Amino acid sequence: MMAGNVVVVGGGVAGMEVAGQLARSGCMVTLIEKESFTGGHVREWHHLFPDRRNSREVTDYLDRQIDHDNITLMAGTTIARMEYGKKVFTVDTDNGTSLSADAVVVATGFDLFRSERKEEYGYGIYDNVITSADLEAMFRNGAIKRTDGTTPEKIGIVHCVGSRDEKAGNIYCSKLCCITAVKQAMELKEHISDAKVYCFYMDMRMGGALYEETYRESQEKYGINFIRGKVSEVGETIDHKLIVKVEDTLVGRPLRMELDMIVLMAGMEMSKGGVKMAQIFGLKTGENRFFAAADHHYGSNASNVEALFLAGSCTAPMNITETISHARAAAAEVINYLRKAER
Amino acid sequence: MEKFGFKLSKPRVIDFDRNDKSVAEFIHANEPSFRLCIECGGCSATCTAGNFIPFSLRELHILLKRGETEKVKDNIEKCMLCGKCSLVCPRGVNTRNIIELAKRAFKIPELHAV
């Protein structure tokens, strides 16, 4: 059996999958997670696109992945310091543990864009402007209500909140929000069958497996309405209705609409934890502030630091399928590295 | 008498909530593929009539959905029903039936208060 101690930083989808794969290959793995629970964002999501399965099915799989004798889970822990010499990392945690590792995998994931930064959309200012994450929490609780307890009948979904937006400092596409919008729009109709749902988009980016089919289904079976144009501003009427200003770019004229609720599709950003890891390990980041992989095509798990590998959405926005694949590839890279180092 | 003084300019904004969308609803009810349009413009590019005169089915389609029916009413008769738009539509929208239904809807007085 191959020997090797590996520290995996981040206990989300990528970190759990890497840890599971490495443990099954005979490595001794320490999985470090800043929160008290593993599973990352998926743990807080209700249903997943494109097939709207319960997220618990995925977190159950991940829980089984890390249920292995070779894995030590350190939850509620962060990394404070690191030294590298003679091909060994010495990693100190904030609770005083010192770990020795032959390789490190950074899987610090992403943070959701804080929608209050797009002040013009009124998140945190108007009562019934919520985010995609807030809506998932409502789905989980089983009731979609305005703050006054009434059921919304006209709901707007705003795409690209904090994505493709130089003013927000993020010029990249977060890739998952379009399909999340379509999924949530259909789920809103399932909860409130006579609701009218309007998606405001710049482009519909339906590049993933079954995305376009889901988009079509949302039009055909759920009657979701799509309006092409970036919402410039959200206001509130005297009777607490929300009012959007947008250009309907397909008509070529401005459009005004009152809504009962607005859902903002928050984009993905480099996580705060990732920024800290970049400082501690001296990792390079790209223009999008995510970690810069050694090679865009054939080295997406390698970093600029020897024996340090990257996994998952700390390198770019990724869906769960891609994250798990990327994590498995990272595990393969680590195993190859440790084999070579043995000789 | 010479007219002078202030006048009211009609705002360009699409007043979505006030606009009457009953024609679009009539088409939806009778031709569900109306929902599937993704505004690609394939229909307008291939349109026999549109090659010679200003006529765009894509534009009329979105105007119907926004309840801006006046322009549609004035233009829908320009279609020669050749059906090329149905052939090119990537979403399989029954475009010809939509035109027929729109024409029918405009003849039902209670459907549109234009």
Domains of chain A, start order: 5-109+271-342 (3.50.50.60), 115-267 (3.50.50.60)
pLDDT band at A341 (very low <50, low <70, confident <90, very high): confident
Residue B113 predicted with pLDDT over 90: no
Share of chain A above pLDDT 90, in %: 98
Q: Between B17, B28, B62, which is nearest A257 by CB?
A: B17
Q: Is residue B24 part of a domain?
A: no
B56 to chain A, closest Cα gap in Å: 11
pLDDT-derived band at B1, boundaries 50, 70, 90: low
The residues, ordered by sequence, that sit 6+ positions from A149 with a Cβ below 8 Å of its Cβ are none
CA A40 to chain centre: 9
Name the closest residue on chain A to residue B15, using Cα atoms: A256
pLDDT beyond 80 at A163: yes
Model confidence at A326: pLDDT above 60: yes
ipTM over 0.90: no
Cβ distance of B13 and A250 shorter than 8 Å: no
Show which residues on chain B lie within 8 Å of chain A, measured between beta carbons: 12-17, 28, 32, 35-36, 38-39, 58-59, 62-63, 65-66, 68, 91
| Domain assignment present for B19 | no
pLDDT over threshold 60, residue B114: no
Structural domain boundaries enclosing B44? 32-111
Contact B16 A250 (CB under 8 A): no
Would you say the C-alpha torsion B37, B43, B49, B55 has a positive or negative sign?
Answer: positive
User: In chain B, how many domains are there?
Assistant: 1
Query: Is A343's pLDDT higher than 70?
Result: no
Chain B nearest CA to A123, separation (Å): 23
What is the tens place of the pLDDT at every residue in B81-100? 999 999 999 999 999 999 99
Across the interface, whether the CB atoms of B65 and A225 are under 8 A apart is answered yes
Nearest CA in chain B to A222: B35
Kindly state the tokens that stand for B43: 């229909």
Tokens of B12: 């360009």
Spatial separation of the C-alpha atoms in residues A315 and A72, rounded to whole Å: 25
Residue at token pair 């208060």:
B113
The partner residues of A269 in beta bridges, in order of sequence, read A111
Tabulate helix, strand, coil % of chain A (nearest 5): 30, 30, 40
CATH (domain of B86) = 1.10.1060.10
pLDDT at residue A1 above 50? no
Q: Determine the distance in angstroms separating the CA of A140 from the nearest CA of chain B, rounded to an integer.
A: 29
- DSSP lists the bridge partners of residue A262 as A129, A156
Q: Which helix (H) or strand (E) holds A199?
A: strand A196-201
Contacts of A219 in chain B (CB under 8 A): 35-36
Nearest chain B alpha carbon to A228: B39
Q: Which of A153, A206, A211, A251 to mutate to test the interface with B (most CBs of B within 10 A)?
A: A251
User: Residue B23, class by beta-carbon neighbours within 10 Å (0-12 exposed, 13-18 middle, 19+ buried)?
Assistant: buried
CB contact (8 A) between residue A251 and residue B39:
no
Nearest C-alpha neighbor of B24 from the set B56, B61, B54, B51: B61
Chain A positions touching B32 (Cβ under 8 A) are: 220
- % of chain A at pLDDT higher than 70: 99
Full-model pTM: 0.93
User: Angle at Cα A226 formed by Cα A143 and Cα A176, nearest 5°?
Assistant: 70
Q: What's the rounded Cα separation, in Å, for the pair A228 and A235? A: 19
CA distance B4 to chain A (A): 29
pLDDT at A190: 97
Q: Helix B22-30 crosses helix B95-107 at what angle (to 10 degrees)?
A: 130
Nearest residue in A to B33, CA atom: A220
A254 vs B13, B28, B39: nearest CB: B13
Instruction: Evaluate whether residue B98 is within a structural domain.
Output: yes
Q: What is the 3-state secondary structure (H, E, C) of chain A?
A: CCCCEEEEECCCHHHHHHHHHHHHCCCEEEEEECCCCCCHHHHHCCEECCCCEEHHHHHHHHHHHCCCCCEEEEECCCEEEEEEECCEEEEEECCCCEEEECEEEECCCEEECCHHHCHHHCECCECCEEEHHHHHHHHHHCCCCCCCCCCCCEEEEEEEECCCEHHHCECCCCCCHHHHHHHHHHHHHHHCCCCEEEEEECCCCCCCCCHHHHHHHHHHCCCCEEEECCCCEEEECCCCCEEEEEEECCCCEEEEEEECEEEEEECEEECHHHHHHHHHHCCCECCCCCECCCECCCECCECCCCCEEECHHHCCCCCHHHHHHHHHHHHHHHHHHHHHHHC
Compute the nearest-CA separation of B66 from chain A (Å): 9
CA nearest to A245 within chain B = B13
Report yes or no on B4 lying in a domain.
no
In a domain, B2, yes or no: no
Cβ–Cβ < 8 Å for B26, B101? yes
Mean local confidence (pLDDT), A244-263: 96
For the segment A43-68, what is each residue's pLDDT rounded down to a tens digit?
A: 999 999 999 999 999 999 999 999 99
- Give a yes or no: residue B44 inside a domain: yes
Contact between A305 and A312 under an 8 Å Cβ cutoff? The reply is no
Predicted local confidence at residue A2, as pLDDT: 59
Q: Which residue of A has its CA nearest to B28?
A: A223
* 8 Å CB contact between A161 and A265: yes
8 Å CB contact of B17 and A258: yes
For residue range A78-106, list pLDDT tens digits in order.
Answer: 999 999 999 999 999 999 999 999 999 99
Question: Is residue B3 scored above 90 in pLDDT?
Answer: no
Query: Is residue B12 in some structural domain?
Result: no
Decide if B6 is inside a domain: no
Complete DSSP assignment for A180-193: HHHHHHHHHHHHST
